[in-house]
Amino acid sequence: MQPILAEEIRDFDTSLDRLWARRDLVVVAAGALICFRSIYHRARQIGALGRFRYAAVRAEDYVLGTAEETIRDAVRDSARLPGARVVVIYLSCLDILIRPDFADIERTLSAETGCIVRCFFRGPLAKSDGIRHETAEELLAALPPEEGAVTASASLPPPMSDTAGVSDFLREEGAAHVLVTPSGCRNALACMDLMSERSDVYALIPQAEDYIFGMEETAAAETGALAAEGAFRTVHLLSSPVPAFMAMEAAPVLQAAEEQGCRASASPTDGFHDAVCGAAAASLRLVQEAANGWRAAGQTVLILGYSPLLFGDMAQLDASTAFLTAYGCGVCTAGLDALTERPALVWLVSAAGVSAAEWLRREYDVPVVRSLPLGDAGQTAWRAEIAAVLGLPIEEACVEQTAGDVRAYKILIIADPIADAAIDHLLRAYGFCNIRCAAYAWDEETAALYRQATAGADVLVFRTAAELQSAWDAADAVVADPALLSAMGEKRIVPLPTGLLSGRDAAGEGSGVLGADFAAILSAFLKC
């Protein structure tokens, strides 16, 4: 079993780099979300985002046999990009496992699109399937000379996967995370989605024969061996597209860890969904399991929806937790602290906690506060809401310093819906009245979570650039992760980088909607 550690890409001589050195060539990565997260990162590093597209294949597409058509559609769209002469399909492990007729794909799509379409076999399964596949150099050598260059904007950035989201959310001391993967899926964590201080995430890499006979035996043996080392009290099993597709049974793997004295659990991750969806499912499972052994409710406030990559620096919650503890409240953060007591209140800080929050409200009548203390007036309103629910003395109201004049400036906010509401409230206090809120959802499951978190507010939940474009074009300024600029076009940006899109670089000290960095940026914007 191999530990996964945060690392920076320094070698710019990979197969991808050699393919993208040809300016009239588009790379289409096929597969699950986790398959092309690190590829997008590499394309951004070398300035090739306009020459990268992804074919987001759903898990059910691989089961029902519709994956090939999804890939074909992505190739057709890529061939229509201005200046495209060559389209290379960068195949995933699942594409190699299901074995569509690659020769027919190349032949028919080349004839249909007028571009040269080639399949490129990559990853560990390509190396172990017993068939020699051509290298990037051989593929390039067989092409006619380069002619022109692709001129196109980027696709929307693929967000962090559910696998990475659960790993980032479950951070209790003494726990190990075991990712079952052919090895390629570790790259998304190593390159983007694993905080640099983490040393508790491992890649369990199956043997070649496991793809034929099943992965359970190897996974159980290696997980049991890790548990036997005695360094961890808990083992969290994380899946990826290939074991999910093969329907790997978690029970014997968890049993192997439990036989060594570890508590073991498995999250239903598959690499096809995003981090919000994954963290939401993990949060719900966590509170449901904890509820079986809860003591009676005291004065504990449960924070739901927090993880460093989804929300930012933990320090941004310090003032709020200090307020709560000063009044004798305990503070418990789901995913980090043990849930030993039925909470008196849930503080929902992002949509990733909405499923668990609604379950607690429905089953245990636990009240939910879903606001953020952004700005002086926001903090006062949040404290008053908390105090009213918990029966605490209400502080004297604080009035936000405002600009006074109504501003016609059009602002688009793109963030988690709860952050949207906090920023919207602050900007309106400063006279901005033409504000549109939006949230980027990778799939329908996350879109549903965002709608649930809005509490009836008007939020544009978009999944494609086309769905966002009119709101983007109409705005004078956009509060958003700058990672969206390459796909949507230049715009005055009020940067609010998030780990969901930009990875760990956006989750350091001072990060988050309540963090010092964004406070300084907002202050400068409001003074303009």
Task: Calculate the average pLDDT of the chain.
Answer: 92
What is the band of 209 on the pLDDT scale with cuts at 50, 70, 90? confident
Residue 400 pLDDT class (50, 70, 90 cuts)? very low
Calpha distance 73→79 (Å, rounded): 10
Pick from 25-34, 85-94, 389-398: least confident: 389-398
The mean pLDDT value for 385-409 works out to: 72
199: phi then psi, degrees, rounded to nearest 5: -140, 25
* DSSP secondary structure of 425-451: HHHHHTTEEEEEEEEE-SSHHHHHHHH
CATH class belonging to 297-390: alpha beta
Going across the sheet that includes 52-56, the strands are 52-56, 25-31, 86-90, 116-120
Express each pLDDT in 472-509 by its tens digit.
999 999 999 999 999 999 999 999 999 999 999 999 99
List every span in the chain annotated with CATH 3.40.50.1980: 2-141, 162-276, 297-390
Question: Does 3.30.70 match the CATH number of domain 407-527?
Answer: no
| 2-5 LR contacts (CB < 8 Å, sep 24+) | 2/186, 2/202, 2/203, 2/205, 3/199, 3/201, 3/202, 3/203, 4/179, 4/186, 4/189, 4/190, 4/194, 4/201, 4/202, 4/203, 5/190, 5/194, 5/198, 5/199
pLDDT in tens, 346-367: 999 999 999 999 999 999 999 9
The class that CATH gives domain 162-276 is alpha beta
Give the range among 178-192, 228-242, 506-520 with minimum mean pLDDT: 178-192
Q: Each residue of 32-86: pLDDT tens digit?
A: 999 899 899 999 999 999 999 999 999 999 888 899 999 999 999 999 999 999 9
Burial class (CB within 10 angstroms; exposed 0-12, middle 13-18, buried 19+) of 51: buried
Read off the DSSP letter of residue 341.
B
Res. 7 pLDDT band, cuts 50 70 90: confident
**Residue 200: per-residue pLDDT:** 94
Q: Where are the beta strands (DSSP E) in 280-364?
A: 300-304, 330-333, 345-348
Mean pLDDT of 198-210: 89
Give yes or no for residue 377 having a pLDDT over 90.
no
- The predicted structure's pLDDT at residue 128: 58
In tens, the pLDDT along 300-325 reads 999 999 999 999 999 999 999 999 99
The answer, yes or no, to whether residue 133 has pLDDT greater than 80, is: no
Residue 396 has pLDDT above 80, yes or no: no
Q: What is the pLDDT of residue 63?
A: 87
Q: Where is pLDDT greater, at 246 or 438? A: 438
Among 54-58, 91-95, 107-111, the least confident range: 91-95
At residue 94 the predicted structure's pLDDT band, cuts being 50, 70 and 90, is confident
CATH topology of domain 2-141: Rossmann fold (3.40.50)
**Cα dist from 441 to 73, 276, 351, 502, whole Å:** 21, 9, 11, 15
